[in-house]
Amino acid sequence: MQSRIGWTTETARVLAEGEKLEDDWLMLGRVIEPDEHLTVRRVWLRGATTGRLGLLLTFAAGGRPLDPLPARPGEYVPGALSFYPGALPMRALLTQSAPRRPAPRPSGLNARQALAAYVESLAADPWNERWPLVLQDVRPARHGEGWALVDAYGDALELLPGWDAMRLLAVSAGDPITVAGEWNRAGLRPMTCWQGDRPVTL
């Protein structure tokens, strides 16, 4: 709750006292929101063994470059995450212990399972605005005036209004694919998709 009203936790304190978890962290994808005053980057991770989700949040002011990414989307980053305190602890600091390495295509959920996971996150933190999802065996399709990802059961998750699905269409070529995205109440923002085991950054 303190973070919701502007209180912050010092980096050194998080590294010293925060919950630590070692794993091979799959980089699901990243979202960059540029602004003339402040650029924000969110990097979403998922532990290969634990399944735990992590968020690396980076800021750059005044047009300065962001710190280098620890890996490319679709790669493993071996290391430890130190989590910030919170009702739904996802934001973390990464201490990388080995070089990044390739990862296979991740397992995913269908549309109903994905929404259920998001609802479960809201039970822990009603103010949670974003949630990483990995959808398995979905196809991009027209949905009203926009686009959606449709699973094998015919259920769909809408993409963010105005999001261009052409690259997803090119990768899928009509076949089902795996897609990692960032979900909020406005829709899904795809970050990475997989053609076989080959990740494609969106």
Nearest to 25 by CA among 113, 99, 120: 99
Q: What percent of the chain has a predicted confidence (pLDDT) above 70?
A: 96
Tokens 């929101």 belong to 33
How many CA atoms, within 13 angstroms, populate the side-chain half-sphere of residue 23?
A: 18
pLDDT at 7 (0 to 100): 43
β-bridge partners, 131: 183
> For residue range 11-62, what is the model confidence (pLDDT) as tens digits?
888 887 778 999 999 999 999 998 888 999 999 999 999 999 999 999 998 7
pLDDT band at 122 (very low <50, low <70, confident <90, very high): very high
Distance from C-alpha of 196 to C-alpha of 105, rounded to nearest angstrom: 7
Residues 6+ apart with CB under 8 A from 149: 111, 135, 138, 139, 140, 141, 156, 157, 159, 179, 188, 190
> pTM (2 decimals)?
0.92
